[in-house]
Structure 1
Amino acid sequence: MAKTTALPGVQPALLKWARESAHLSLDEVAGRLKKSVEEVDAWEQSGAQGPSYAQLEKMAYELYKRPLAIFFLPEPPAEPRPEAEFRALPDADLRDLSRETVLLIRRARAYQASLVELFDGRSPVSHPIWKQVQPTDYKSAQSAAAVVRERLSVPAPGDKEWGTADGDDALKVWRRAIEASGVFVFKDTFKQKEISGFCLAHPELPVVMINNSTTKTRQIFSLLHELTHILVGWRAISTFDEAPLKRLPPADQRIERYCNQLAAEILVPARDFAALVAGLPRNVESLSSDDFSALAERYRVSREVILRRFRDENRVSQAFYEERKREWDGQRVEKQGSGGNFYATKGAYLSEWLLSEVFARYGRRQITVDEAADLIGVKPKQVDELESRFLQGLAA
């Protein structure tokens, strides 16, 4: 067997930084490379030892998703760590984020960098919603939510403008309204299923990414929840489970609870809801899942949002809420078709505003196909087909 030769110039500190920033352990990397833990650890500790070129390529492109050249820098580049960048989750949970979630955060940062480049660091919206609405300026979440709905120009619950819109249609309505307010919305399939979404702060070009691996109605709440984070200046990664909330410092708990309350109020206005359920008994624990579904349908939200409304009004116990939530959580995964189309998926995952701007400039030949591909994160050969499908969707 030919002896592999260590590659000169690779910095041990860069190897350790790349592994840790991808949230991978020595054991995981050693297993993927079919090397001993001791050998991989030695690469990170000693300048006298290091990976071969082939091993470095695998580490860069398959494991850490980094450019090869980064390992030859004199020191690790400055990059925010999740526990320093985000709130709404305890530090221990942030340190335990999966590699896949960390890569999604990195992808969202790349999209945000594309937006900064395209719009010269300035919001394309003349009056971004987070500069118009400061929730703390209002006496209650109810009054703040009413202003948010007004600024988003979303039809009132039950309004005929909703027509027969299902969860998918309703998600599109909310998503377009939020993008029109200056917040860029992306989706992806989160392999770390308990993560519902996150937002990246920016004074002009904030980004939200939500988990597509769940029902459309659950995605709607995740989207509005991340919007409230942006409105209160709260950089956050969110989970479906409320348990991490209890491990936050008291001040952080108050902010996150307020965000939950505000998102619920935007989607299910208290006055409208009170009128709708006025005829129901004070304790509604006898209602069936179908009864909760019928209420949820009016607001195009999940049953859990309705149940949370009743819990906050002390019309169900915390124990009942948690029991039903566990039951419904087991049903929340969106049914997926077999296979799937790359272009349809990519078009649904990317911000509509980002795609529109990139393809407009590409069509005017202001940017090359390589530049367009780089801005939206696809291969150059995929740009034309993605553009065609995107324009067909707008015309439909």
Structure 2
Amino acid sequence: MAKAVPLRGVQPALLKWARESVHLSVDEVAGRLNRAVEEVDAWESGAESPSYAQLEKLAYDLYKRPLAIFFLPAPPAEPKPEAEFRALPLADLRRLKRDTILLIRRARAYQESLVELFNGQSPVDEPIWKQVSLDARKSITEQADAIRAALRVPAPGAHEWGASDGDEALKRWRKAVESSGVFVFKDSFKQREISGFCLDHDQFPIIMINNGTTKTRQIFSLMHELSHILLGWRAISTFDGNSVNMLPDREKRIEVFCNKIAAEILVPSADFSEQLERVPVNIELAGPELFASLAERYRVSREVILRRFRDANRVSQEFYEERKRDWDGQRIQRASSGGSFYLTKGAYLSEKLMNEVFSRYGRRQITIDEAADFIGVKPKQVEELESRFLRGLAA
């Protein structure tokens, strides 16, 4: 077998930068390439260079970068999660896994696509951030009411919410948020403790939520991230309450505030107070049916109802934490096997983004290659995805 020929011109600093940008160690890269750690170290020190085939694997398989980037004189400017996200402790940000980093990068790419598609101007005349400005020092109830009004969602318990499994409710909340000017994407996060994240922007804010959880949990994540956007505060959120407790005081107050806003949007105090009049005095002795029925009414998780009981001093902190631990193990939504790529992609992408891309492609204002770039698929997949999207709108 011929020996691999080292590729001249590859910049060692770019190799190290690309590896660190996706939070991979030298050992992890060596293991994925089935190479010696010393060999990868030598590439990054400049003592040796990878072959063309090795660089292709590094660029396309591991780091998800264009090949040409490794020949630049210096790494391009790019924000780091540690610098732009403040809703997780620094140690947790540094432990973000490669797949989460790539999802953040994909969200940034979607944001750039939106800027280009809409010529830098939000397609919504009066976006929600111009109607509602959040302030952690002001009334939770009044601010949550303002958000509900801006989103124009039905009252709790109204028949418009549809099926009780949360699927129709999630679709309605998502559509309401997108109609307000915020673009919503989904993906199945491999780092399962991450519930979602958001990228603020003066015209094209983005929310990405974890599709690997229950629909009701996704709804809460959506409202939590929306609260962050209305504060102008980029965030990566987790299911772990201990992470919040480890934050500096200011960031901790913001996270607690966003949780309270999300809970108040989904379970308005006035309506919940009416429901409280019909529940047993000692809620801790009530059966699971109580939590299930209220969760169904508001299309939220049982944990949200439990938190509302705790905030109303109807259950103890110990009871809250015990039940939450029990339910946390059930929050992961089992993905069905053999799913369609097109159905999954259609569910993950922002409807408003797809509508604009396919409208322009249908009018031949953009090419099939450009359409593919905007929505992050291969050119050969564009027309089938377009067909399914248009059929869905007509249904």
Q: TM-score range by the shorter chain?
A: over 0.9
User: Displacement of 1:42 after TM fit?
Assistant: 1.6
Q: SS of the counterpart of 1:301?
A: coil
Aligned mates of 2:193, 2:54 — CA distance in 1: 33
Q: 1:350 corresponds to which letter in structure 2?
A: L
The aligned counterpart of 1:29 is 29
Q: SS of the counterpart of 1:123?
A: coil
Aligned mates of 2:136, 2:150 — CA distance in 1: 15
The aligned counterpart of 1:71 is 70
CA contact (8 A) 1:87 1:235 kept: yes
Aligned mates of 2:288, 2:240 — CA distance in 1: 20
Structure 1 residue 288 corresponds to structure 2 residue 321 = no
The aligned counterpart of 1:362 is 361
Aligned mates of 2:105, 2:278 — CA distance in 1: 49
The aligned counterpart of 2:190 is 191
CA contact (8 A) 2:136 2:254 kept: no
> Greater CA deviation, 274-283 or 48-57?
274-283
Q: SS of the counterpart of 2:186?
A: strand
Q: SS of the counterpart of 1:80?
A: coil
| Alpha-carbon displacement from aligned partner over 1:274-318 (angstroms, at most 9, x marks no partner) | 111213244411122222011100000000100011111222222
User: Displacement of 1:320 after TM fit?
Assistant: 1.6
User: Which consecutive segments of 4 or more residues in structure 1 shift more than 6 A?
Assistant: none
The aligned counterpart of 1:256 is 255
Q: 1:257 corresponds to which letter in structure 2?
A: V
Q: SS of the counterpart of 1:285?
A: helix
Change over 3 Å in CA distance of 1:163–1:380 after alignment to 2: closer
Matches within 5 A, 1:147-162: 147-162=146-161
Q: 2:29 corresponds to which letter in structure 1?
A: V
| Alpha-carbon displacement from aligned partner over 1:220-255 (angstroms, at most 9, x marks no partner) | 000111000001111000001111001110111111
Structure 1 residue 389 corresponds to structure 2 residue 370 = no
User: Displacement of 1:343 after TM fit?
Assistant: 0.4
Structure 1 residue 224 corresponds to structure 2 residue 215 = no
Q: SS of the counterpart of 1:127?
A: coil
User: Displacement of 1:45 after TM fit?
Assistant: 1.3
The aligned counterpart of 1:44 is 44
The aligned counterpart of 2:58 is 59
The aligned counterpart of 2:336 is 337
Matches within 5 A, 1:1-396: 1-46=1-46, 48-136=47-135, 139-164=138-163, 166-396=165-395
| Alpha-carbon displacement from aligned partner over 1:32-63 (angstroms, at most 9, x marks no partner) | 112221221121112x4111111000000111
User: Displacement of 1:165 after TM fit?
Assistant: 5.2
Provide the alpha-carbon RMSD of the alignment.
1.2
Q: 2:36 corresponds to which letter in structure 1?
A: S
Q: SS of the counterpart of 1:154?
A: coil
Q: SS of the counterpart of 1:149?
A: helix
CA contact (8 A) 1:138 1:144 kept: no
| Alpha-carbon displacement from aligned partner over 1:176-216 (angstroms, at most 9, x marks no partner) | 00000000000000000000000011111000000000110
Q: 2:171 corresponds to which letter in structure 1?
A: K
> Greater CA deviation, 354-363 or 337-346?
337-346
TM-score between both structures, scaled by the size of structure 1: 0.97
Aligned mates of 1:281, 1:162 — CA distance in 2: 27
> Greater CA deviation, 22-31 or 321-330?
321-330
Q: SS of the counterpart of 2:196?
A: strand
Aligned mates of 2:281, 2:83 — CA distance in 1: 44
> Greater CA deviation, 37-46 or 196-205?
37-46
Q: SS of the counterpart of 2:135?
A: helix
CA contact (8 A) 2:162 2:169 kept: no
User: Displacement of 1:336 after TM fit?
Assistant: 2.6
Aligned mates of 1:195, 1:133 — CA distance in 2: 27
Aligned mates of 2:281, 2:310 — CA distance in 1: 11
Aligned mates of 1:385, 1:125 — CA distance in 2: 28
CA contact (8 A) 2:60 2:66 kept: yes
Aligned mates of 2:42, 2:209 — CA distance in 1: 39
User: Displacement of 1:337 after TM fit?
Assistant: 2.0
| Alpha-carbon displacement from aligned partner over 1:46-85 (angstroms, at most 9, x marks no partner) | 2x41111110000001111111111011100111100101
Aligned mates of 1:158, 1:282 — CA distance in 2: 23
CA contact (8 A) 2:147 2:265 kept: yes
CA contact (8 A) 2:12 2:44 kept: yes
Structure 2: gaps of 5 or more residues: none
CA contact (8 A) 1:123 1:205 kept: yes
User: Displacement of 1:373 after TM fit?
Assistant: 0.4
TM-score between both structures, scaled by the size of structure 2: 0.98
User: Displacement of 1:382 after TM fit?
Assistant: 0.5
Aligned mates of 1:377, 1:108 — CA distance in 2: 10
Q: 2:173 corresponds to which letter in structure 1?
A: W
CA contact (8 A) 1:135 1:141 kept: no
Q: 1:353 corresponds to which letter in structure 2?
A: K
Aligned mates of 2:95, 2:341 — CA distance in 1: 30
Q: 1:5 corresponds to which letter in structure 2?
A: V
Structure 1: gaps of 5 or more residues: none
